[in-house]
Amino acid sequence: MFRKLGMIMAVGFAALCVSAGVSIAGETDLLVQKLVEKGVLSPNEAQILLDETKQDVARQNAKGTNDAIPQWVQNIKVKGDTRLRFESIRDKGVKDLTHERLRVRLGVESKVNDQMKVGIGLATGKPSDPRSRNISLGNGTDAYGTTGSTGPDNTAASAKNFELDYAYAEYTPVKWATIIGGKFQNPLWSPWDMIWKGDITPEGAAVKLNYNLFPGFNVFMNDLAFVLRNPDSGIKGRQNAAMFASQIGSSWDIANSINLKSALTYYKFEGIQGQPRFSYSVGGNTATLSCTQGATASSTCYNYNYDALSPSAEIGFKNPFGESVGAFIPYAAVFGDYIYNVSGKHSSTGRGGFDTGVKLGYEKVADKNQYTLKLATSKIGANAWLDAFTDSDRYKKGYTNTQSYEGILEYGLGKSTSLSLDYYYSFQLDKQSSGNRMPEQLYQIDWNLKF
């Protein structure tokens, strides 16, 4: 009887140690050894117990679980990042500006069941500009230290906004299909950010399909319904605005060291032409139509629509220059995007845009001494694309009708932290009355930290 009781106690204590994460080589081994010395367990029974305990620990480690922690807690994943930035803008004819900026993002994701999950994210920034999560130190909540028409906000050490960045529900009925609703990360793929600023989180619904046809070849489709504007019913002349996008593409491992990813995207807009320009638009698109907003007449309504076709591609090479230099340049890629306004009512000029560039170094910077160098050029006509989505770092907060050259060098300082240097040289496509193209230079130094 005492022998059986001792075995039960030993097994129970071993299970408790496993659940609490106690080292097997510590308390569990000690207890089993004492029970063997007192004759409660035989050496053979002790070895069986230790082996079973080790197997249980290995099982939990492989699953990434711990029986001592509630399952709903284990289903939660927390992630985030912080970016400190120094920025200098040199704009011909305008006083040079410098900013010290901060971006903080915090996200929580929880598994509801094997097919469903929800996610919530918060970020710094200002609700009136969805293209930037930056805040300027020494100023108010605007990324550029302004508060609408009131000018600079010079409130020292003011509190900063922490806004809802995304909140979504996701359903995966089969492993190759995902349905998303709410406010979420952009599901559309593009190798560069000329068309889409990375901080934008669309609102609406999306469907993502990714299917492996045969080894090394995947096809994908991303469909997006994006609610752009939903005005109060009492505002005269205002319409709902929405964008619908459908993207088809493939990822092909041509060889062990070569991958080609390509996609074609069609964009369809509703409620844009003849409607007021978005408040955070910087005026690149033509918006001279007269329209009525409530009881107030306005001459800043969009002249055109922005339905568009956009092909994109990137081809990547592992060890492109052979094993002799593979340790220094383990990856290289060439990429490009093109966009063309295919709307029925459109501008006769400035309907197209493109970007193209190269990447050298590591595919991603994740650890110390890893680096990536990116060089790109882009050109976008005045009415090729809606300027509410463009890269707000590129020429006067995302102006269209411009050409830009950009270089980015990112270097790993350690695991999940890096230093990056970014340089833009941009200018307008049309000469001004003064005869110049109003060039602008932008310098950015970022310290990135992820967790």
**Secondary structure in 3-state letters for the chain:** CHHHHHHHHHHHHHHHHHHHCCCHHHHHHHHHHHHHHCCCCCHHHHHHHHHHHHHHHHHHHHHCCCCCCCHHHHCEEEEEEEEEEEEEEEECCCCCEEEEEEEEEEEEEEECCCCEEEEEEEEECCCCCCCCCCEECCCCCCCCCECHHHCECCCCCCCCCEEEEEEEEEEEEECCEEEEEEECCCCCCCCCCCCCCCCCCCEEEEEEEEEEEECCEEEEEEEEEEEEECCCCCCCCCCCEEEEEEEEEEEEEEECCEEEEEEEEEEEEECCCCCECCCCCCCCCCCCEEEEECCEEEEEECCCCCCEEEEEEEEEEECCCCHHHHCCCCEEEEEEEEEEECCCCCCCCCCEEEEEEEEEECCCCCCCCCEEEEEEEEEECCCCCCCCCCCCCCHHHHCCCEEEEEEEEEEEEECCEEEEEEEEEEEECCCCCCCCCCCEEEEEEEEEEEC
> Domain residue spans in the chain?
2-63, 75-450
State in words which class domain 75-450 has: mainly beta
pLDDT truncated to tens, each residue of the chain (451 aa)? 445 444 544 444 444 444 444 444 456 677 778 777 777 778 887 788 778 777 776 776 666 666 667 777 788 999 999 999 999 998 866 667 898 999 999 999 999 999 999 999 999 988 878 888 999 888 754 544 444 444 445 566 778 888 999 999 999 999 999 999 999 999 999 999 999 999 999 999 999 999 999 999 999 999 999 999 887 655 555 678 999 999 999 999 999 899 999 999 999 999 998 888 888 888 789 888 877 655 455 668 899 999 999 999 999 999 998 877 778 999 999 999 999 999 976 667 789 999 999 999 999 999 999 999 999 999 999 999 999 899 888 888 888 999 999 999 999 999 999 999 999 999 988 866 555 678 899 999 999 999 9
pTM over 0.75: yes
